[in-house]
Each structure stands twice: as C-alpha cells, then as structure tokens.
Amino acid sequence: MNMPIIARDLYRFFHAGDEETLALRGVSLAVAPGEIVVVVGPSGSGKSTLLSCLAGLDDPDGGVVHIQGVRISRRPERERTELRRKHIGVVYQQWNLLSHLTVQQNIQVVRSLIHDQTVKSRLVPIPDLLTELQIDHRAGAYPQRLSGGESARAAIAVAVAADPAVLIADEPTGELDQLTENAVLGLFASQAARGVAVIVASHSPNVEAAADRVIRMRDGAVAS
C-alpha cells in the first residue's frame, strides 16, 4: 500500500548548555490512508517533537520522513514548508487562525497559496467545507469571537482547506469539554473516512478510544 506518511528511525537531540535531551531516539511509524493514529505518553516523552518532525516544522537529527513518497526531512525550511502546504494539514496547539481575518477568509488565504490548477479544481467549495466541519454559521466571524469548540472546528477547516493527504494535530482537544471533544473527534473520523491519514497527540482517554491504533511514547521512544 502507498503510505501517505512514513518515518524511519527518527532521532532528535536538544542542547542547553551541558544538558543534552534526547527527545526522539529511534522512532519509526507509518500511517495508512484513512487511519487514525493517536500518540500518547507522559509530558516530555517526545510527542510534540515527533509530530513537528513528521510535519516538517522541525527537522530530525537522524532518520527520514517521507510524505506521499517524497522526503520532507533534511531539506531547507522553504522546501519543507512547500511540501507541508501541499500534503499536510496541521492543527496547531494555539489554533492556526489569523486574527484579523474571518473564518472564511482564513480558508481563502490557505487556498490562495495553491497554484496547481488540478488540485484547485478538485477542492470542495468553501461553503461545503464549512458545512462539513459544522462551522458554516460562523463563516463571517473573527477568531476572537469563537468559542473553544468553534475555534477547534475552524482550525481543522483551515488545516484541511488544501485537501491534505495527512492531518496532524498536537493535543487539539486539550482545552475542550468532553462533548466538544467528541464533536472534534467526529471531524477527524470524517476526514479519515475521506482517506486522510490522521495523527493526533493527546492525553485524553476519549481521544485514545477513537484511535484505530495507539502509539505509546516513553522517553523519546515507542514503548508499544
């Protein structure tokens, strides 16, 4: 099978003075289209570092990450950004919404960066995307006027606006009550049903329960 995301033997070290932190020590994983993988583990176990390396936001010191068959690791930041724009949707912990733009305008900005006409022509129209993510009633709202659940939905809408093969979310429901969390999980499930490979880091047992597969991290390695 063609795996949208494959990571092999990732290492990441951080240095602060004499202190060396091994944030990742030999992590490998592959996620299939339509699969929801949840990464769990105690705080400091390397979840965010792993997700950043998978998304090309950070570059591993060792190992390799392939997205849609293309290596994203060990490239200049510009190239990683370009590959991320094409293939990956990232739901940021602090929500990836530009505050001076409405929800709809935030999506338009993401789409304006797509230049490939073939890709453009197969995109779901924005009103349909907003409806699918249950945020259509807030299309004209500015981010600071959104509730927590609405912000989460809008952030996911922005993340999937360019029709990515991979969706990556770092603790996306950390601040949400369980009802809202369930709604967000439903959105991930519907993205997976469309064939998107979904990777979520979370502390929540509820999120873990929604996974097709759980990856447990401990001290920068996969424990099980």
Ligand X SMILES: Nc1ncnc2c1ncn2[C@@H]1O[C@H](COP(=O)(O)OP(=O)(O)O)[C@@H](O)[C@H]1O
Catalog residues that contact Mg ion under the rule CB under 5 A. 47-48
Residue 173 binds which entry of Mg ion, ligand X, none, with Cβ cut-offs from 5 to 8 Å by kind? Answer: none
Counting Cα atoms < 13 Å in the Cβ hemisphere of 200 gives 32
Residue 14 binds which entry of Mg ion, ligand X, none, with Cβ cut-offs from 5 to 8 Å by kind? Answer: ligand X
Task: Please say whether the beta carbons of 170 and 91 come within 8 A.
Answer: yes
User: Quick check: helix, strand or coil at residue 88?
Assistant: strand
Is 104 a binder of ligand X (CB under 6 A)? no
Residue 224 binds which entry of Mg ion, ligand X, none, with Cβ cut-offs from 5 to 8 Å by kind? Answer: none
User: Which residue, among 76, 110, 89, has the nearest Cα to 156 in the 3D structure?
Assistant: 89
Is 47 a binder of ligand X (CB under 6 A)? yes
166 bridge partner residues: 88, 197
Is 80 a binder of ligand X (CB under 6 A)? no
Environment class of residue 205 by beta-carbon count within 10 Å: exposed (0-12), middle (13-18) or buried (19+)?
A: exposed
Rounded to a whole number of angstroms, the minimum distance from the CB of residue 203 to Mg ion is 9
Is 4 a binder of ligand X (CB under 6 A)? no
Positions that interact with ligand X (CB under 6 A): 14, 16, 21, 23, 41, 43-49
